[in-house]
Amino acid sequence: MATQARELPPKQELPRDDGDDYEDDEDEEEEEGEEGWDDWESDGDDAAGGSGGLLCLFCSARFDSDGPLFAHCGSVHGFDFHKLVRELGLDFYGCIKLINFVRSKVAENKCWSCAEISQLEGKVPWAEDSYLKPFMEDDSLLHSLSIFDDEEDEDCGMPVVTGECSVGNGRSGELQGNGLNTIIDDCSDISARFEKAVTTESNGGDNNGSLSEEQTDRQLKITRASVTAKEIKKVDDNYFGSYSSFGIHREMLGDKVRTDAYRDALLDNPSLMNGATVLDVGCGTGILSLGFSSAKAGASRVVAVDGSAKMSSVATHVAKNNGLLYDENANTEQKGGPQVISVVHTKAEELNHKIVVPPNGFDVLVSEWMGYCLLYESMLSSVIYARDHFLKPGGAILPDTATILGAGFGRGGTSLPFWENVYGFDMSCIGKEVTGSSARFPVVDVLDSKDVVTDTAVLHYFDLATMKESEMDFTASLELRLPESGAAAVAGVTWCHGIVLWFDTGFTDRFCKDKPVVLSTSPFSTPTHWSQTIFTFEEPIAITNEKSVVGSSASVGSAECPAGTIRSRISIVRASEHRSIDISIETTGISSDGRKRSWPAQIFNL
């Protein structure tokens, strides 16, 4: 029975920094040609934007300021940054895009010179707004550009870039693109503060004058983007740090339904796992890599990544203590056997910054990425990135399907029965207040199957082998009706107090041909640590299988005119707060004679 909102501990996810055991000599040059699994090397901390000065665009040299850095790029690497800025008329945005573009190409072992870029005609290859996003985490160079310092208004407390707005390709114009617009929209909670700051500074004195509308808009965009990046990093740090608690891992490892499903999928499908190269995204303690993907399942190589520095270290020690840790220093003859596991501390999106990964080099991608209501914590986007960049064409992703299902629940799914009789005292006034609060906040709890009052309906289905990241945001409808036959059939009027959602994930015969497996978090199955997610209506809705009284003037959904169907239009989208989701529910009751009644939309944040 759902009695109170449960605090939501973060689910396991991706990775960030490699351990010292995987660092290689930075002076050692990479061999040309196709990379093999035995040729993997760590790129060291520089790839992650470590401390100690500004990192060169092309090598591991570091500098105290951008002036010496760009001079070095020109003299040593033949890349004249300032010349490109002048010739192409790049503004601040264009410079940011160019730096991120060059870093991305260098990471792909693609070389770019000033001569090549200056000969480009038309739209430059870094014009997309995607290059506004820092390619390298904590890239100090992006915050240290002094090329526009002489254009700042000395009387204004905020830097101002003068001249026309360029889109980074030498042509004037207004910055466009969904990427930046999304950043701005997602920062609505801080927008007012920056707008007030700019307005105050720009109108602060007669000599200061006023900032132009274009300048103000551009400065706000820069400030908001910077703050958004810092907020995302803060949320990620807290998220990965929370997984340093062994209590969370104890709960997940103790979830027999969860762990047995992954064990069966990996160990009971030898045709898939024998000799396979495996990527484990969000490895935690490493149970999937260590116990199920390596020696027992017959994998030839396993790379386990995790964003928690502590858990990456723990997984490394566990692999070593169990004789499964891969030794990079061993010669070819010594490699093989059960020592197949490498543990990398990094995000999945930054794996190729930490180690050299053969393109699409993995046969199998496994991850336990699911959160409450399936999508809480938004880890799925990292799994999709890993699938698209590291999995071989036709490679297996486990699990490969996910389905969100729902049903209506009755009074027993609320806290009302508890508060009506507390050691013989009537405290129903408290129950009503608690239920009212539940209509604004989702409750994560185990719902007793006897409290489910309608048939189960599918809300949304994901094909994890083909879906795009944008499909994580969706709108779909549930149509809920009372069971018409069987033991669950109910005569008369039943009160539906809300909707409960859960998910199933499938290890289907598309990849698990020997033994398909289903992991279910249904209230009709053995409870898991995911429980179910409960959304309470503002007011209960009467529902029945019987026909409504024709000509009744009573409202649909009341005891006098119960609904025959409850239709709920549900939207689940990633929230502006990183790793959260917003859920909106629009509910309509439909009587047997076709009359309808709609209730105000309810908005929940998880």
* pLDDT for position 107: 84
Provide the residue type at 6 as one letter: R
Surface-to-core class of residue 275, CB atoms within 10 Å of its CB (0-12 exposed, 13-18 middle, 19+ buried) = exposed
Percent of the chain scored above 70 by pLDDT?
A: 67
Residues 6+ apart with CB under 8 A from 34: 358
- Express each pLDDT in 386-408 by its tens digit: 999 999 999 999 999 999 999 99
pLDDT tens sequence across 444-478: 999 999 999 999 999 999 999 999 999 999 999 99
Q: Is residue 585 very low, low, confident or very high in pLDDT (cuts 50, 70, 90)?
A: very high
Task: List, for residues 103-112, the tens digit of each pLDDT value.
Answer: 888 887 755 5
| pLDDT tens-digit map of 476-528 | 999 999 998 655 556 689 999 999 999 999 999 999 999 999 999 999 999 99
Q: Is the pLDDT of residue 289 over 60?
A: yes
pLDDT tens digits for 95-143? 888 898 898 888 877 555 554 554 555 578 888 878 888 888 778 888 7
Cis check for the bond before 540: say yes or no (omega within 30 of 0): no
How confident is the model over 472-490, as pLDDT tens digits?
999 999 999 999 865 555 6
Alpha-carbon span 498 to 247, nearest angstrom: 32
Whether pLDDT at 330 is above 70: no
Give the pLDDT of residue 92.
78
368 classed as catalytic: yes
C-alpha–C-alpha distance, residues 146 and 149, integer Å: 5
Res 230: pLDDT: 55
User: CA-CA distance, 253 to 260, in Å (whole number)?
Assistant: 10
Domain ranges of the chain: 54-143, 247-368, 401-605
340 pLDDT more than 60: yes
What is the phi/psi pair of residue 8, to 5°? -95, 100
Rounded distance, CA 319 to CA 340, Å?
A: 9
Mean pLDDT of 252-265: 90
Residue 26 has pLDDT above 80, yes or no: no
Q: What is the mean pLDDT of the chain?
A: 76
Residue 563 has pLDDT above 80, yes or no: yes
**Residue 321 confidence (pLDDT) above 60:** yes
377 is catalytic: yes
Hey, which residues does 371 pair with through a beta bridge?
A: 374
Q: Which of 137, 377, 479, 538 is catalytic?
A: 377
- Amino acid 172 reads S
User: Could you tell me if 581 and 606 are in contact, meaning their C-beta atoms sit under 8 angstroms apart?
Assistant: yes
Percent of the chain topping pLDDT 90: 35
Q: What angle do CA 362, 368, 369 make, to 5 degrees?
A: 100
Residue among 13, 201, 350, 368 flagged as catalytic: 368
Structure tokens at 303: 């790379």
Per DSSP, what are the bridge partners of residue 505? 402, 519
Mean pLDDT, residues 157-174 taken together = 31
Q: Which of the four pLDDT bands, split at 50, 70 and 90, describes residue 431? A: confident
Tell how strand 362-367 and strand 277-281 pair up: parallel
pLDDT at residue 17 is higher than 70? no
158 or 71: which carries more pLDDT confidence? 71
Report the pLDDT value the prediction gives residue 34, as an integer from 0 to 100: 43
Average pLDDT over residues 351-361: 86
Distance CA 304, CA 244 (A): 16
pLDDT-derived band at 273, boundaries 50, 70, 90: very high
| 267 membership: H or E segment, kind and range | helix 256-267
pLDDT at 247: 65
Quick one: which of 170, 151, 144 has its CA closest to 211? 151
154 has pLDDT over 70: no
Output the pTM of the full model. 0.63
Q: Which amino acid is at 144?
A: S
Domains 247-368 and 401-605 share a fold: no
Instruction: Report which listed range, 177-181, 216-220, 228-232, 297-301, is most confident.
Output: 297-301
Reported confidence tier of residue 533, pLDDT bands at 50, 70, 90: very high
- Which residue would you say has higher pLDDT here, 551 or 482? 482
Q: Which stretch, 144-153, 258-267, 295-304, has highest mean pLDDT?
A: 258-267
Of residues 269, 326, 274, the one with CA closest to residue 298:
274
CATH number of the domain located at residue range(s) 247-368 in this protein: 3.40.50.150
Most confident option among 372-376, 565-569, 601-605: 565-569
Q: Which is more confident, 51 or 70?
A: 70
Hey, which CATH number is domain 401-605, 2.70.160.11, 3.40.50.300, 3.30.365.10, 3.40.50.410?
Answer: 2.70.160.11
What is the enclosing helix (H) or strand (E) of 284?
none
pLDDT given at position 232: 56
Specify the length of the chain in residues. 606
pLDDT of residue 10: 39
Amino acid 295: pLDDT: 61
* Cα–Cα distance for residue pair 523/406, rounded to 1 Å: 10
> Of 181-190, 236-245, 265-274, 553-562, which range is least confident?
181-190
Task: Report the pLDDT value the prediction gives residue 193, as an integer from 0 to 100.
Answer: 39
